[in-house]
Amino acid sequence: MQRTAESQERKVNKKVAVSFEDTIVKVVYASSHKGRTVVQKTMVFKDEEFDSFLKTTKLPDLTVICHFKKFYSDTMTAPPAKTVYLKKIVESEIKKRFPDLKDFSYFFSIISEKTSGEKGPREIFFFAVDNTELTEIIERFNKFGKSVKYIYPDILTLSSLIKSSAELSGKTVLPMFISGTDRTLFLVRNGQLCFIRVTPSAVHDLTDLDVDNMNMTVSYCRQKLRLNPEFLILLNAVKKEGPLNTIIPTTPITYPTGVLASEETLKNFMVPVCAIVFGQELKNENLLPIKYKTLYTFRSIASNASLVFLMLSLISLVYILIHISQISMVNEKITALRKELTEINAITAAYDTNTEKMQHILPLIQFVNEAHASPDMQKALVSLKFLPMENLHIKSIQLHNRKDFLLMQLTGVIHAKNYGDMYGIFVNLLNNFHKTSGMTVVSKNIELRNGHFQIEVENRS
């Protein structure tokens, strides 16, 4: 994979995802561009330490993922209808089934869609959370000036991972995800959530009781839901010693493609990474309460309106100043012409004489200026004092003297154990050029398959 020019790098979409998992908080910084995601940094905090991080760190709009202790989910049937009407039907059904749930946010998915021409109701799965719990989470960020743009349950982001798998997207599977001492079993059919069951445990590792719960859940799906799970997926569960006596086979999960990160990072930060990678597909399932969506919309409109007003004011001010300056200049010129009309001919003649003399020596002046303006090659080479670097070999350095600057072309190779280390060394090299006075990186290219790179730098010092 090759890195594009610097102008294209500005289009990289930088994202931050925060995942609350039992008593710890995981944070992932990543950038996305043209379907590829680069995990730049990961952090883990104890829950009580996270506020200090929020207080001292500048963050963009955030995606937050939670393991909700209390949620409301079930399946229902609904007649064929447009999405806007279907939402009202689902909301009404949630209120009917859970009368104590007054103010809530929810999402739903159609898990048995009819083909064209078929009549009859559609089967729908819904997931709802009390807005009181969501507000507590969001206000924890708001009090430090951080905005939460999206909020999802952990199992939703994980179901997107299964949906993206070519081997599993069309099957009915039963994944298990462990958060603290909670075991969450959720049924996924054709990439859509159908059923959720949470069971507690006293330890983190799998036990025989967990295996019994898995088998009981499979039996429940077959008997009550009329759905037959084909595989069991242990997403982050540590497999117990000895045989795993489940009534259906287990199968591993394939991590999302197009993500530049180590396998250990993908395993330990699976939930927030999936939230970033599948962010576009998850937007319709956003649990952010409507009052915050409205607030952020008004805030964005106000911000844009303020910017437009400021620009128009600046343009108007410049326009006025230009015209005032022009009027003043015209008046001064008229006054000067009236006073010095008799001297114009003499001034013009003197100007023509001096101009003719200057034409003879102008080439010499230009030659001297260009000689002094040319960058010093020796000084440019001395400024490369940060070379050589560890695990980086420079093969060639070429210098080309341009009119106003010195163009430096460097080629070399990076020796690293993995793509992440290679990319890190390359970024450090670029940062050294940026830190050097008078140097600007105008082009860069690296081939991850062999570590060969080429950099072009303008030196104007």
Strand 259-260 and strand 36-46: the pairing is parallel
Do residue 321 and residue 210 come from a single domain?
A: no
Do residue 50 and residue 85 come from a single domain?
A: yes
Do residue 362 and residue 411 come from a single domain?
A: no
230-243 average pLDDT score: 78
277-284 average pLDDT score: 91
Do residue 365 and residue 314 come from a single domain?
A: yes
Separation between Cα atoms, residue 173 and residue 218, nearest integer Å? 10
Which DSSP letter does residue 261 get? S
Do residue 122 and residue 213 come from a single domain?
A: no
Q: What percent of the chain shows pLDDT beyond 70?
A: 83
Strand 72-78 and strand 104-112: the pairing is unpaired
Higher per-residue pLDDT: 352 or 139: 139
Domain that holds residue 216: 166-253
Q: Give the bridge partners for 394, in sequence order.
A: 412
Do residue 276 and residue 127 come from a single domain?
A: yes
Do residue 246 and residue 336 come from a single domain?
A: no
Do residue 68 and residue 138 come from a single domain?
A: yes
Is 301 a domain residue?
A: no
Per-residue confidence (pLDDT) for residue 408, from 0 to 100:
86
Is 7 a domain residue?
A: no
The CATH number of the domain holding residue 61 is: 3.30.420.380
Within 10 A of 144 (CB to CB), how many other CB atoms are there?
14
Do residue 214 and residue 341 come from a single domain?
A: no
Q: Which two tokens stand for residue 162?
A: 């299964």
Picking from 253, 274, 297, the residue at the C-terminal end of a domain is 253
**Is it the case that residue 9 has pLDDT exceeding 50?**
no
Q: Domain count of the chain? A: 4
Is 297 a domain residue?
A: no
User: Cα–Cα distances in Å, from 422 out to 235, 260, 286, 313?
Assistant: 29, 11, 36, 48
Do residue 135 and residue 101 come from a single domain?
A: yes
Beta-carbon contacts of 443 under 8 Å, excluding residues fewer than 6 positions away, are: 5, 6, 454, 455, 456
175 near 158, Cβ under 8 Å?
A: yes
Is 389 a domain residue?
A: yes
The CATH number of the domain holding residue 452 is: 3.30.1360
147 near 296, Cβ under 8 Å?
A: yes
Do residue 111 and residue 207 come from a single domain?
A: no
Picking from 346, 372, 398, the residue at the C-terminal end of a domain is 372
Q: What is the DSSP string of 351-405?
A: HHHHHHHHHHHHHHHHHHHHHHHS--HHHHHHT-TT-SBTTEEEEEEEEEE-SSS
163 near 169, Cβ under 8 Å?
A: yes
Q: Which two tokens stand for residue 108?
A: 């739903």
Per-residue confidence (pLDDT) for residue 257, from 0 to 100:
80
Is 128 a domain residue?
A: yes
Of 73-77, 120-124, 151-155, the least confident: 120-124
The CATH number of the domain holding residue 206 is: 3.30.420.40
Do residue 159 and residue 276 come from a single domain?
A: yes
pLDDT level of residue 288 (50, 70, 90 thresholds) = very high
Higher per-residue pLDDT: 302 or 289: 289
Q: What is the pLDDT of residues 44-62, one digit of tens each?
A: 999 999 999 999 998 888 9
Mean predicted lDDT score pLDDT of the chain? 83
